[in-house]
Amino acid sequence: MAATSHTGNGQFPDAGTPVQFTRDEELTAYREMLLIRRFEEKAGQLYGMGFIGGFCHLYIGQEAVVVGMQMAIKPGDQVITTYRDHGHMLATGMDAKGVMAELTGRSGGYSRGKGGSMHMFSKEKNFYGGHGIVGANVPLGAGLAFANKYRGNDNVCLTYFGDGAANQGQVYEAFNMAKLWHLPVIFIIENNRYAMGTAIERAAATTDFSRRGASFDIPGEQVDGMDVRAVRAAGERAVKRARAGEGPCILEMLTYRYRGHSMSDPAKYRTREEVERVREERDPIERVRRRMLEAGMIKEDELKKIDGEIRSIVNAAAEFAQNDPEPDASELWTDVLLPA
Amino acid sequence: MPTMSMIEAIRDAHDVMMARDDNVVVFGEDVGYFGGVFRCTRGLQQKYGRNRCFDTPINESGIVGTAIGMAAYGLRPCVEIQFADYMYPAYDQLVSEAARLRHRSANDFSAPITVRMPTGGGIFGAQTHSQSPEALFTHVCGLKTVVPSNPYDAKGLLISAIETDDPVIFLEPKRLYNGPFDGHHERPVVPWSKHPLSEVPEGYYTVPLGVASVRRPGAALTVLAYGTMVYVAEAAAAETGIDAEIIDLRTLLPLDTDTIVASVEKTRRCVIVHEATRTSGFGAELSATVQELCFYHLEAPIVRVTGWDTPYPHAQEWAYFPGPQRVGEAFRRVMEA
């Protein structure tokens, strides 16, 4: 694993000269990130219109993390995450309609309306959820990695959680077991600096989360989670190690969410200027867009065409999610236990 | 047919299932090299290798959490929590993940795990090695909860549990591991080899989940019991001369209400016995169920005999434990009403 320069306290590391993307790679990253961004904006609108109730945690700002990691893995690798999960689902290739319809609690949602925003799954896409209890998915990720090792396949499990979950005890149980048994798991800590309304400095005795595996001898790396190229490069290093049987590692993704923790969060714990500064200087989508234009890889009108395509995917998802029927009341009683 | 203790029968169930299905993996604290604190997994690591039977760190949440992840990918983990009292750190995983995975994924994933744990007292384990937390599981929709009371059932139920596509909590009354303890702690332990239910067939067989067993047919009253209390109730029937029909529930959830209702409609009286504390114990659920389904057949109020609402004591263990005398008194009370 590459040496890490710890920049401390959630400052974004200077990536130096990151690995360059080809035009195709830049375009893939752009499309995937834009899909998440537009999807989340639409989810926010539908929430405001009353189509989505309860909890809804938007991923806006963090798109480069999941898109970059997804570019570093192969089919068969598993993904499991906590509750800010819409981006992960879209990145694994789950259908925007099914995700949006789950948000609106319709029968065409991925969990037929039983899961909601925080609880969606897809066996087909190797997406293992969507878990609403902070940190509870982390031992499951180690278990999935164990199953890979037991089966003798070369799959790795990407196990995502946030800076808040990184303070949960069971995370360290998973770290210990993963290292003890050399499991092919990558622990991705999405450090967006705030666990709901609590800044990392107010909740964590040490805020360099890449070092949280130090006592288990799990290597860690801080990554500019706002640069999709840096994410993919770090992801590829970690995945290569894990596939080679060298065990787990930690990737701390330094990232930022533009919106509140949930829809009811006015985000008074940070300044408007702080948010604006990250948006202007670091926005992961804008960075790709600007790079492509500056390098002459693409023209404005081609980008506009892509934007239009993404908008129609999202609009179709929203349309579906508003018109799909609600699940029958009898669905409440299914999938609880199998018959005795 | 060989006779086995509960321990040997449980070990044998593991052996049968590990031989039948490569997906069955067995792990927990001291489960591999040591063979388990009560020796329920003795020899399995030697026979099946360290990939399939292994030791874990002392981290119950991690044990159950990794088991759920493995199960979601198609393995069949059968894990041991060393004492049921150690389960609490894993409760989040059991409730929030194992029990709910099928429902919230609309059947895309499930967690077919078996979580074994020795339960109950009578061994001077005091507060943290004696509790009976079954009601904490039966209250959680999405879990099945099993309590065997003899070697034959233990093997057949454990095989069923491992084969079940849902998470199963398998509570092993530790005072029954070596013999059918009836609450007479002052007497020497009778070994299982003297009991007919220690005759355990070799190889594969199942006892289905969700089916109770009438252990002693009777006409005077119905006793609803499970685990150690089956033998305590038998002793109370013998000592009072009251012709009790003793039902060993075997599975608490799903509950075999058909057997319960048929018996109570016949005897018209019902005593419920468990070792766990009284308030919000599983007896409350049983009592409510009998009242709802059998009210017009009852000739006396339902009586519960349970542990007291105190921490499980050390010095006063036998004052806490609902022994044959307390159960016999309840029989008389129900007959007099």
Identify whether A8 is part of a domain: no
Strand A194-195 with A198-199, pairing: antiparallel
Identify whether B1 is part of a domain: no
**Interface test mutation site (partner A, options B103, B137, B206, B249, max chain A beta carbons within 10 A):** B103
Q: State residue B303 phi and psi, 5-degree precision.
A: -120, 135
For residue B209, the chain A residues in CB contact (below 8 A) are 340
Identify whether B264 is part of a domain: yes
Q: Are residues B167 and B292 in the same domain?
A: no
Q: Hey, is the C-beta of B139 within 8 angstroms of any chain A C-beta? A: no
Chain centroid offset of residue A129 CA: 11
Identify whether B83 is part of a domain: yes
Active site residue B14: no
Identify whether B207 is part of a domain: no
What's the average model confidence in pLDDT over B291-309?
98
Identify whether A153 is part of a domain: yes
Q: Are residues B79 and B129 in the same domain?
A: yes
String of DSSP letters for A13-71: P---SPPPPPHHHHHHHHHHHHHHHHHHHHHHHHHHTTSS-S-----TT-HHHHHHHHT
**What pLDDT shows up at residue A3?**
39
Whether the link from the prior residue into B201 is cis, omega within 30° of 0, is no
Domain termination residue (choose one: B147, B171, B198): B198
Task: Name the domain count of chain A.
Answer: 1
Q: Are residues B306 and B223 in the same domain?
A: yes
What's the average model confidence in pLDDT over B33-44?
97
Listed residue (B264, B148, B265) closest to B209, CA to CA:
B148
Q: Hey, is the C-beta of B67 within 8 angstroms of any chain A C-beta? A: yes
Q: Are residues B61 and B90 in the same domain?
A: yes
Signed CA dihedral, B76, B79, B85, B91: sign only: negative
Domain termination residue (choose one: B198, B223, B252): B198
Element (DSSP H or E) covering residue A337: none
Listed residue (A155, A252, A239) closest to A213, CA to CA:
A252
Identify whether B206 is part of a domain: no
What's the average model confidence in pLDDT over B155-168?
98
Q: State residue B34 phi and psi, 5-degree precision.
A: -80, -25
Residues A47, A50, A53: CA angle, nearest 5 degrees: 65
The verdict on a CB contact (< 8 Å) between A136 and B166 is no
Identify whether A135 is part of a domain: yes
* Side chain identity at residue B140, one-letter code: V
Helix (H, G, I), strand (E, B) or coil at A242: helix
Identify whether A169 is part of a domain: yes
- pLDDT, one tens digit per residue, over B189-229 is 899 999 999 999 999 999 999 999 999 999 999 999 999 99
Token readout for A24 is: 């195709």
String of DSSP letters for B196-254: GGGB--SS-----TT--EEEE--SSEEEEE-TTHHHHHHHHHHHH---EEEEE--EEET
For residue A119, the chain B residues in CB contact (below 8 A) are 104-105
Q: State residue A176 phi and psi, 5-degree precision.
A: -60, -45
**What pLDDT shows up at residue A95?**
98
DSSP A128: -
B28 pairs with which residues across the strands?
Answer: B55, B80
**What pLDDT shows up at residue B1?**
84
A251-282 in b/e form (b: 16+ CB < 10 A) is bbbbbbbbbbbbbeeebeeeeeeebeebeeeb
Domain termination residue (choose one: B146, B166, B198): B198
| Segments forming the whole domain that contains residue A174 | 23-321
Q: Hey, is the C-beta of A106 within 8 angstroms of any chain B C-beta? A: no
Identify whether B299 is part of a domain: yes
Q: Are residues B194 and B322 in the same domain?
A: no
B60-92 in b/e form (b: 16+ CB < 10 A) is bbbbbbbbbbbbbbebbbbbbbbbbbbbebbbb
Task: Report the CATH number at residue A184.
Answer: 3.40.50.970
Q: How far apart are CA B120 and CA B113, in angstroms?
A: 22
* Side chain identity at residue A320, one-letter code: F
Q: Hey, is the C-beta of B64 within 8 angstroms of any chain A C-beta? A: yes
Q: What percent of chain B has pLDDT over 90?
A: 98
Q: How far apart are CA B104 and CA A108, in angstroms?
A: 14
Identify whether A145 is part of a domain: yes
Q: Are residues B170 and B121 in the same domain?
A: yes
Q: Hey, is the C-beta of A174 within 8 angstroms of any chain B C-beta? A: yes
**What pLDDT shows up at residue A5?**
40
Q: Half-sphere exposure (CA, 13 Å, Cβ side) for B11?
A: 21
For residue A180, the chain B residues in CB contact (below 8 A) are 57
**What pLDDT shows up at residue A266?**
82
Q: Residue B142 is nearest to which of A111, A143, A336, comparing CB atoms?
A: A336
Task: Report the CATH number at residue B311.
Answer: 3.40.50.920
Q: Hey, is the C-beta of A44 within 8 angstroms of any chain B C-beta? A: no
Element (DSSP H or E) covering residue A220: strand A220-224
**What pLDDT shows up at residue A94?**
98
Chain B nearest CA to A168, separation (Å): 11
For residue B165, the chain A residues in CB contact (below 8 A) are 338
Per-position pLDDT tens, chain A of length 340: 443 444 444 567 765 667 899 999 999 999 999 999 999 999 999 999 999 999 999 999 999 999 999 999 999 999 999 999 999 999 999 999 999 999 999 999 999 999 999 999 999 999 999 999 999 999 999 999 999 999 999 999 999 999 999 999 999 999 999 999 999 999 999 999 999 999 999 999 999 999 999 999 999 999 999 999 999 999 999 999 999 999 999 999 999 999 988 888 888 899 999 999 999 999 999 999 999 999 999 999 999 999 999 999 999 999 999 999 999 999 999 999 988 6
| Active-site pick, B103, B129, B139, B184 | B129
Residue position matching structure tokens 């995917």: A313
Chain centroid offset of residue A23 CA: 23
Chain centroid offset of residue B304 CA: 18
**What pLDDT shows up at residue B321?**
96
DSSP B329: H
For residue B141, the chain A residues in CB contact (below 8 A) are 336-337
Q: How far apart are CA B237 and CA B246, in angstroms?
A: 9
Task: Report the CATH number at residue B62.
Answer: 3.40.50.970
**What pLDDT shows up at residue B113?**
98
Identify whether A238 is part of a domain: yes
Q: How far apart are CA B112 and CA A96, in angstroms?
A: 30
Q: Are residues B90 and B159 in the same domain?
A: yes
pTM, entire model: 0.94
**What pLDDT shows up at residue A14?**
64
Identify whether A335 is part of a domain: no
Identify whether A174 is part of a domain: yes
* Side chain identity at residue B1, one-letter code: M
Identify whether B203 is part of a domain: no
CB A111 within 8 A of CB B104: yes
- Residue A91 CB neighbour total at 10 angstroms: 24
Task: Name the domain count of chain B.
Answer: 2
Q: How far apart are CA A222 and CA A254, in angstroms?
A: 7
Q: Hey, is the C-beta of A125 within 8 angstroms of any chain B C-beta? A: no
Tell me the average pLDDT of chain B.
97
CB B249 within 8 A of CB B147: yes
**What is the interface pTM, i.e. ipTM, of the complex?**
0.93
B254, pLDDT greater than 80: yes
Q: How far apart are CA B70 and CA B54, in angstroms?
A: 14
Q: How far apart are CA A251 and CA A70, in angstroms?
A: 14
CB A183 within 8 A of CB A145: yes
Strand B221-225 with B270-277, pairing: parallel
What's the average model confidence in pLDDT over B323-330?
98
| Segments forming the whole domain that contains residue B13 | 6-198
DSSP A226: T
Q: What percent of chain B has pLDDT over 70?
A: 100
Q: Are residues B169 and B281 in the same domain?
A: no
